[in-house]
Amino acid sequence: MSIEQVHRTTLCHADGRYLLLYGDHGGDELAPLPVGEHPPLHLRWNALDARWTAISPARNTRPQTAPTADAAAPSCPLCPGGPEVPFAYEAAVFENRFPTLLADPPAAPDLDGDTAPSVGRCEVVLYTPTHTGSLATLEPRELARVIAIWADRSQALWAVDEHRHVLVFENRGEGVGATLAHPHGQIYALGHVPSLVRNRLEALAGHRAAHDTCLTCDVVERDTASERVLLDLPGFVVAVPFAPDWPYEIHVRAKRHGVRRMHDLDAAERRDLAVSLRDVVSRYDRLFDEPMSYMMVCQQAPAAEDGTPAEDWHLAFEFLPPNRAADRTKFRASVETSTGLFINDTIPEMCAAMLAEVITDARAVTFPEISVGAG
């Protein structure tokens, strides 16, 4: 199969934020936007829990539109002609105007506890110019392009010495607090390894020390052989995890040892990832005959102390939907929040059986191979 190259064009807003355009676009002039000020932006150290909290009051001023399926959305800031991309585009990435992290953040304030500058990046990824749609309904070329963009941006952000963790994610639907309906995701580059990610690194290291095997390889083998498996492809296994926090949680995990980050995927694995993502979101949206809200996180290997990615980490996309039934939502309440002990109101194997009964067209779709080059 021939490789289609998507050209990346870099523009700059008047406030200094970059705009990356992938593919064809209808202009290169950007309208002036109000210059954001972020003096209170900083990190505070939670000494009792040994983790950082980000203080980011600018997020309270973010624009919002009702997350509806209306095809016409004149107030959507992400549609072509909006403030971020004021002309036609195919796909785009821009620095968030209301960030939690900055490449050159203000100095941390001197307070009665430990603080640090909010070093990092916050990017918004526009999947498509069309206001409606999802990972289940994007055209094959669009989804393949999104995956290529994730890899392109992840690799660029990992190349910055100050970045210790890069997180690709998507919040979809009112059920998880999404404020904009336009199909999009985000990428955060962090200047530290978050506590939950450190916990996973410790689990991998402990398993390696005790058994001399890769814990993630063992999980892949167990999930593939289980009744919780939903889709088994050469490059990825799609399954309800053994111990899910959320009733209809699904993990899409790379099989090959050594695939730790997005740019480690080969062409066949990228196509398998596209099939897997389309399959998962299709199952969600058909399970209760309406779009299901979810949080999606791409778990890439964080930087170890020497800057290299963690050895036994496998790239994974984890889908975390709040539904526990068609008309019931699971909330992260007192026990989960205060102890980390999640209480799942369902049996994982039963949820997997329900999801397995949903028929999708994902395996029948042909996805092109796309790479990114500078325009």
Q: Are 167 and 188 in contact (CB under 8 A)?
A: yes
Cα 18 vs. chain centroid, distance in angstroms?
20
Residues 6+ apart with CB under 8 A from 366: 140
Neighbours of 10 (CB within 10 A): 11
The two tokens of residue 100 are 């939690």
Neighbours of 100 (CB within 10 A): 20
Measure the CA–CA gap between 343 and 88, rounded to whole angstroms: 46
Strands of 81-157, DSSP E = 89-95, 115-116, 120-126
**DSSP structure string for 263-321:** GG--HHHHHHHHHHHHHHHHHHHHHTTSPPPEEEEEEPPPB-TTSSBPTT---EEEEE-
The two tokens of residue 114 are 């430990």
Q: Are 126 and 85 in contact (CB under 8 A)?
A: yes
Set 25, 165, 182, 184: catalytic member: 184
Measure the CA–CA gap between 176 and 245, rounded to whole angstroms: 15
Active site residue 211: no
Measure the CA–CA gap between 129 and 116, rounded to whole angstroms: 37
**What is the identity of the amino acid at 121?**
R
Residues carrying an active site annotation = 184
